[in-house]
Structure 1
Amino acid sequence: MFYSNAWTKCLICLIFITSGNAECPKPQVEGNVVLTNDALLMNDFPEGKEATFQCAKGYLKEQGSEIITCTSGKWSTLELTCKKKDCGVPREKPHLTYEFGEEGTLFGASARAICDKGYQLTGPSYRQCYDIGWSKIPTCEVVTCDKPPEIMNGMITEKPDKEFPEYGDVIQYSCNEGYTHIGNKSIECNEDGDYNSLPPECKDVNDIPLKPTTTISRTTTTSTVPPTIRGRGNPIKSTPV
């Protein structure tokens, strides 16, 4: 009986010691936190062992401890909370604006690049907010038109001092002496890279037919009706001579 009681007490002690020193399973990763490299290399997690977490790529620590501890075969609760990084508003560039989605400027968000009227986009049309910041910066370059065409019997009197006119530039034309212009005297470079109209034509003034002149004459017709003479009483009779 003595041996039986003693064995029972020892068995209880062994169970208590074994359960108290039970190892924890490998820590589970959830949400926007990950194990550090040192914790990933660990294979055993005995009683009292600690494991360290950190915020995932694109996230920053908001609050709480990064460490959990193995106690009686269970891990303590991770208190670390992380929030998305904010890339902020992209730096201003000439003639370039951005259109943001629901994510705004947070990690993973995208922004659409928009150029002002008369400018065209060079580079990606969208920028992505990465862990290190915004992706490649696009630029907006002014739209250009072809060289202004020459005209017969006339000349270009005013144009920009550049080989290819840019958006908004105006080219002025004039005709030689003895010629008159047909059409617009100037053309303008539009936002689509074309001119807003064809250049004028210069025509010989002698070749332009004159408009016919219409004269309206008014004729007055007078009608003469001999009067009728009526007397009071008998009519007047004529006496033969």
Structure 2
Amino acid sequence: MAPALALLVLCQVALYTTVTSKNVCGRPFVTDGIEESTLKRLYELGEEVTPTCEKGYLPSTATPRRMTCTSTGEWTRSDLACSPKMCPIPRPLQPLAMGRTEAPFKSVLNYTCDDGYVMQGANESSCLHDGTWNNPPPLCKAVNCPLPKPPRDGRIAFDKPVTGSTTMYGQGWTYECNQRMAPSFERGSCMADGSAAEPPVCREVSCTIPPAIPNGFITFAVIRQHGYKEKVKYACNEHHILDGEAEIECQNSGNWSSKPVCRAPCAVGIKRGRIFYNSKKLWIADLKPNRVLHGEHVVFYCLNRAERCGYPVVSTCNDGTLPIPECFVEPGKVEYTIRAKTLPSEITMCAASPPARPA
């Protein structure tokens, strides 16, 4: 059995030598877009090939140079380049294509619709060899909902006028109840799935006697329980600032909306020094009364010891508290009385404030 096997191997080697001893070329290397289906696997010395472009590609020249199989087993170069045909991108889609106006052959456009819209047409389109799309852009049609049912003992107020028996996605409305009654929820809308919630329940709702607020009072109101949507108005004592909505409303939950707060004024807590307040530079003794309203700003003056100059630091009154900047040093009585011109507020101002020290 061994001699027969050795003979078979020798025959195979001889056959391979016979085939490969000829000068041949393999299939020529071609760039993208050149037609390959007509090319053979092997070519003999001197054979020629004229390359052509595939369907859907444009040739760079009408008479491309022939490629020849040389004695080295290599091909001469071709001067043909094939570029894909282009399909014009529909104008409404160009902003989504980052400004591009065309797409190359074999490109695919995928379409989606926003929530609340139903697609009519194909959800994708391919660029064909003739520079056209195989499907037109689809339409995105808004979802319609049947008109909502009004609540028992109530009605519906639409945000926009409606006609017919349906309303479009996104349309909203407010539920209203008869006098002294409140809906269990107030708003509804046509949803993305084409449905609307069941109507709310109308029930009697009342809010407790309006609460008092520190440093404030209720204006022109009878101290009693109030019904749904009734309002009361607050005001603050003198020199206090109202923070929040002046009016509160009895809500459908039986609770009042958020009540405002009266913010207290601040006193400037120094005995000696000069400040900048209300567009004026004042000695603290001239601030009469010593009072700054909530939210107002006061400028203190600090000393840059290295540069021997003064710089301003702003502080803000916040509900009765006016922080004194850490850099501010209140002068002594003698310094304040006799050498006032050497205080940081009176000397040359620095070109820039020094960087803040880390906390």
TM-score when normalising by structure 1: 0.51
- Which amino acid in the other structure matches residue 165 of structure 1? T
Runs of 4+ aligned residues of structure 1 deviating over 6 Å after TM superposition are 69-72, 209-213
- Which amino acid in the other structure matches residue 146 of structure 2? D
SS state at 1:111 partner? strand
SS state at 1:181 partner? strand
1:112 offset after TM fit, Å?
Answer: 1.9
- CA distance 1:97–1:192, shift in 2 (3 Å): farther
Q: Which runs of 5+ in 2 are unaligned?
A: 1-26, 39-45, 210-359
Aligned pairs for 1:22-61 (under 5 A) are: 32-34=33-35, 54-61=52-59
- CA distance 1:78–1:174, shift in 2 (3 Å): same
Partner residue, 1:82: 82
Residues in 1 aligned to 2:97 and 2:144: alpha-carbon distance in whole angstroms = 25
SS state at 1:92 partner? helix
SS state at 1:120 partner? strand
1:99 offset after TM fit, Å?
Answer: 6.6
Residues in 1 aligned to 2:207 and 2:156: alpha-carbon distance in whole angstroms = 29
Does structure 2 conserve the Cα–Cα contact (< 8 Å) formed by 1:123 and 1:138? yes
Partner residue, 1:13: none
- CA distance 1:167–1:212, shift in 2 (3 Å): closer
1:148 offset after TM fit, Å?
Answer: 1.1
- Which amino acid in the other structure matches residue 55 of structure 1? C
SS state at 2:145 partner? coil
Larger Rg: 1
Tell me whether 1:115 sits opposite 2:117 in the alignment: no
| Aligned residue among 117, 126, 129 for 2:127 | 129
Does structure 1 conserve the Cα–Cα contact (< 8 Å) formed by 2:181 and 2:205? no
- CA distance 1:98–1:210, shift in 2 (3 Å): closer
Residues in 2 aligned to 1:58 and 1:140: alpha-carbon distance in whole angstroms = 31
Does structure 2 conserve the Cα–Cα contact (< 8 Å) formed by 1:120 and 1:143? yes
Residues in 1 aligned to 2:111 and 2:186: alpha-carbon distance in whole angstroms = 37
- CA distance 1:179–1:53, shift in 2 (3 Å): same
Tell me whether 1:182 sits opposite 2:180 in the alignment: no
Does structure 2 conserve the Cα–Cα contact (< 8 Å) formed by 1:70 and 1:76? yes
- Which amino acid in the other structure matches residue 84 of structure 2? K
Q: Larger relative contact order (C-alpha < 8 A, sep ≥ 6)?
A: 1
SS state at 2:166 partner? coil
Partner residue, 2:149: 149
Residues in 2 aligned to 1:189 and 1:162: alpha-carbon distance in whole angstroms = 15
Q: Percent identity?
A: 25
Partner residue, 1:165: 167
SS state at 2:82 partner? strand
Per mean C-alpha deviation after superposition, the further-off stretch among 63-72 and 147-156 is: 63-72
Residues in 2 aligned to 1:34 and 1:150: alpha-carbon distance in whole angstroms = 69
- Which amino acid in the other structure matches residue 34 of structure 2? V
- CA distance 1:162–1:53, shift in 2 (3 Å): farther
Q: How many residues align?
A: 173
Residues 25-72 of structure 1, C-alpha deviation per residue, up to 9 Å, x if partnerless?
xx989553349xxx9xxxxxxx9xx98654211111224623639899
Residues in 1 aligned to 2:175 and 2:155: alpha-carbon distance in whole angstroms = 6
Does structure 1 conserve the Cα–Cα contact (< 8 Å) formed by 2:176 and 2:183? no
Residues in 2 aligned to 1:98 and 1:199: alpha-carbon distance in whole angstroms = 40
Does structure 2 conserve the Cα–Cα contact (< 8 Å) formed by 1:170 and 1:186? yes
1:172 offset after TM fit, Å?
Answer: 3.4
Does structure 2 conserve the Cα–Cα contact (< 8 Å) formed by 1:160 and 1:171? no
1:123 offset after TM fit, Å?
Answer: 2.3
1:198 offset after TM fit, Å?
Answer: 4.3
1:189 offset after TM fit, Å?
Answer: 1.8
Q: Which runs of 5+ in 1 are unaligned?
A: 1-26, 40-46, 214-241
SS state at 1:134 partner? coil
- Which amino acid in the other structure matches residue 174 of structure 2? Q
Residues in 1 aligned to 2:191 and 2:205: alpha-carbon distance in whole angstroms = 34
Partner residue, 1:236: none
Q: Please report the RMSD computed on the Cα atoms of aligned residues, expressed in angstroms.
A: 4.4
Partner residue, 1:44: none
Residues 192-230 of structure 1, C-alpha deviation per residue, up to 9 Å, x if partnerless?
4343x5433223xxxx486788xxxxxxxxxxxxxxxxx
Does structure 2 conserve the Cα–Cα contact (< 8 Å) formed by 1:52 and 1:68? yes
- CA distance 1:142–1:90, shift in 2 (3 Å): same
Residues in 2 aligned to 1:84 and 1:98: alpha-carbon distance in whole angstroms = 22
Residues in 2 aligned to 1:112 and 1:71: alpha-carbon distance in whole angstroms = 45
